[in-house]
Structure 1
Amino acid sequence: MLRALVLLLLLANAGLWAWSRSAAGGAAEAPRPAPLHAEALRLHALAEDAPAAAPARRSEPAARPSPPPDAGMAASAPVPTPTTAPEPAPAPAVAVAAACLQAGPFDEQQAGALRNAVAGLPVGSWRLDGTVLSGRWMVYIGKLADADAVRAKRAELRELGVDTDRPGAAFEPGISLGRYSTEEAAQRALGELGRKGVRTAHVVAERRDSASYQLRLPQADAALRAQVLALGPALAGRPLHPCE
C-alpha cells in the first residue's frame, strides 16, 4: 500500500513538472523543480487557521530630537563677559633737553652783583661774556625852553637845509643834528653846519665808552634754569632767552 502511494506521488510530481514546462513555453530560464524523494516525504496536518507570523522588524534606534535652529550657533558663540576698562598708563615724563640760554645786558655794576650771585652754581655751567660799547657823540642844540621853542628852531633849520632828529629822553627838550661814533667825527660835522649858518649847536657825549655783559648758560637744563631764576634781584629784571 505504501509503495502504491509513493508511486502515485511520483507520477503526480512528474505530471506537474511537465505541465509547468509547457505553461512556461519552454523558457530556458525557468527553474527545474527538484525531484522528490519518497524517503524524505513527511505528512503534516495543515494549520489553516494559524495566524501568519508578522514579519520581524529590525529594531531601529530611537530618533534623536533635532536641536533648535539656533542651538548650535548659541553653543559656538562666545558668551560675552563683563570686563573692566584698563586704566590708562601714566604719561612718561618728558625730559627737557638742555639748551643755551642767556640774559642781559648788564653794566659794570650789575655784572659785579651778578657774578657774586652765580658763584654757587655748578662749575662750568655759566659765564659772563663782556663786550665794550664804544661811545657815541651827538651834534646837539639845547636844552631849549619848551616844545614851542623846539618847533621854532626846527623851522629855522629847515630853511638852512639841515636835517633834525629827536635827541633822546636825557636831552629833551632839544634837537639832534647827527650822531657819530667818535668825537672827532662829531666835531667835523659841527664845522660843516657852522658854514651853513648854524650858530647854537655843540658836540655832546651821548654815551661814553662802557662795558656790557651777558650771562650765558651753555647747557641749561630745567634744574639749572630754576636755580638761575631764583637769583631774583641779581638778574636786574633781565629774562632768560635762547642764545643768539
Structure 2
Amino acid sequence: MLRALVLLLLLANAGFWAWRHSWLEPLHGVIGARPEGEREPERLSLQVDPDRIRLIPAEAASMPASAPASAEPAAAASAPAATACLEVGPYSVAELAVAEAAVKAALPDAGWSERELTTTWWVAMGPFAETEQLQKKREELKRRSIAPELASAAPGSAPLLVISRHDSRAAADTELATLLERGVRTARVVSATVPQRALRVAQASEAQQATLAALPADKLRGKAFTPCPADTL
C-alpha cells in the first residue's frame, strides 16, 4: 500500500513537471489550464487596435471639452466692423460743391449723399444796411478769433454776418449762449429760408471716420463731420 502511494506521488510530480514545461501542450485544452496562467500571449491577438489605447489621468478625464484655441480669434475676425453715420453742413449749393470735392478726393468710394434742410438756424449779427457798420462788426469779431460769413436770410434782404449755422433752434441757442460768455452781446438766432444742404456719409467705416475727421476745416468751409441727427436716420 505504501509503495503504491509513493509511486502515485512520483507520477503526479512527473506529470506536473511535464505540464509546467509545456510538454503536454496538445492536452492543454483537455486539462483546462495552461502553465502561463493569465499571461498567455495569444490574448494580445484578441485586442482591437491595442496600439491606439491611451491612459488618461482621472482629473483630465473629468474636465469638460473646450473649443479649439483658434475658435475665439476666428469669431472675432468674423464680427462686422463698426460703422457710423456722419454729416457735415449746412451748406449753400455753392458751398456744398466745395465740401463734396474734398470728400471725393479723400474717400472716392465713401458713398456720400445730400440731405436737403428745409429750415436752418443761424447765429448772426445784423442785418447791415451800411457797409461801414458791417465792416466794423466784422473787425470786432475777428479780434475775438471769430470769422463770420456774409449771407442773407432771405432773397433780397440786407446781409448778415453769420457766425454759425445749425439744424435746430436748440443747437443755435446753445451756440449763442457760448458767444455771450465770450463777450459777443449783439448776436441773435435767425431762422433762414435760404435752401441749405448737408453732406452725409451714412455708413462710414472706422477707417473712413478717421479720414473724415482729419479733413482740414478750410476744405469743409470751416465745418466738421459730426454724428447724423437722430431724427433724420
Q: Which has the higher helix share?
A: 2
Give TM-score scaled by structure 2 length.
Answer: 0.31
User: Which structure would you say has the larger Rg?
Assistant: 1
Give TM-score scaled by structure 1 length.
Answer: 0.30
